[in-house]
Structure 1
Amino acid sequence: MRKKTRVLIVDDSALVRNSLIRLFKTDPDIEVVGSAADPFLAAKIMETVIPDVITLDIEMPKMDGLTFLRKLMTQHPIAVVICSTLTEKGSDSYMKALELGAVEVITKPKVGTRQFFEEACIRVCDVVKAAALTKPKKLTAKPMIVQPKLTADAMLPKARTNSLQTTDKVALVGASTGGTEALLTFLQSMPLDCPGIAIVQHMPEHFTAAFSNRLNNICQIRVKEAVDGDSILRGQALIAPGNMHMLVKRSGSRYYVEIKDGPLVSRHRPSVDVLFRSGAHNVGKNAIGVIMTGMGDDGAKGMKEMHDAGTYCIAQDEASCVVFGMPHEAIKHGGVDSVMPLKRIASEVVAKSFR
Structure 2
Amino acid sequence: MRKLILIGASTGGPGHIKKIITQLNNITTESSFIIAQHMNKDILKSFVDQLSTCTKLPVYLVQDKKVIEPASIYVCNESLRFSSIHPLILESIDEETIYVPSIDTLFHSATKCLPDYGIIAIILTGIGDDGMLGIDTLYKKGALCIAESQSSAKVYGMPKAASEHNPNIEVMDIEDIVKFLHNV
TM-score (norm 1): 0.48
| Identical-residue share of aligned pairs (%) | 27
Q: Return the alpha-carbon distance in structure 2 between the equivalents of residues 279 and 349 of structure 1.
A: 19
In structure 2, the partner of 1:198 is: 34
Give the 5 Å matches for 1:194-343. Answer: 194-241=30-77, 244-249=78-83, 255-264=88-97, 267-283=98-114, 286-334=118-166, 336-343=168-175
The runs of at least 4 consecutive aligned structure 1 residues that moved more than 4 Å come to none
In structure 2, the partner of 1:67 is: none
Give the 5 Å matches for 1:105-116. Answer: none
In structure 2, the partner of 1:117 is: none
Output the amino acid matched with 2:48: S
Question: Any conservation in 2 of the 1:169–1:288 contact (CA below 8 Å)?
Answer: yes
Question: Any conservation in 2 of the 1:192–1:234 contact (CA below 8 Å)?
Answer: no
Question: Any conservation in 2 of the 1:304–1:336 contact (CA below 8 Å)?
Answer: no
Q: Return the alpha-carbon distance in structure 1 between the equivalents of residues 118 and 88 of structure 2.
A: 11
Measured on the aligned residues, the alpha-carbon RMSD in Å equals 2.0
Question: Any conservation in 1 of the 2:104–2:133 contact (CA below 8 Å)?
Answer: yes
Question: Any conservation in 2 of the 1:171–1:349 contact (CA below 8 Å)?
Answer: no
Deviations 1:251-291 (A, max 9, x none): 66x61211234212xx2121111011011233357211000
- Flag the 1:270–1:335 CA change in 2: closer, same or farther, 3 A: farther
Q: CA deviation at 1:350?
A: 4.3
Which of 147, 152, 175 aligns to 2:9? It is 175
Give the 5 Å matches for 1:96-135. Answer: none
In structure 1, the partner of 2:177 is: 345
Q: Return the alpha-carbon distance in structure 1 between the equivalents of residues 158 and 120 of structure 2.
A: 17
Q: CA deviation at 1:329?
A: 0.6
- Flag the 1:251–1:192 CA change in 2: closer, same or farther, 3 A: farther
Q: Return the alpha-carbon distance in structure 2 between the equivalents of residues 224 and 336 of structure 1.
A: 32
> What's the secondary structure of 1:345's corresponding residue?
helix
Deviations 1:2-21 (A, max 9, x none): xxxxxxxxxxxxxxxxxxxx
Output the amino acid matched with 1:234: P
Q: CA deviation at 1:233?
A: 2.2
> Based on CA coordinates, which of the two structures has the bigger radius of gyration?
1
- Flag the 1:261–1:192 CA change in 2: closer, same or farther, 3 A: farther
Question: Any conservation in 1 of the 2:21–2:54 contact (CA below 8 Å)?
Answer: no
- Flag the 1:186–1:171 CA change in 2: closer, same or farther, 3 A: same
Q: CA deviation at 1:332?
A: 0.8
Question: Any conservation in 2 of the 1:295–1:323 contact (CA below 8 Å)?
Answer: yes
Q: Return the alpha-carbon distance in structure 2 between the equivalents of residues 250 and 232 of structure 1.
A: 14
Q: CA deviation at 1:213?
A: 1.0
Deviations 1:285-322 (A, max 9, x none): 72110000001100001100000011000111111110
TM-score (norm 2): 0.89
Output the amino acid matched with 1:317: S
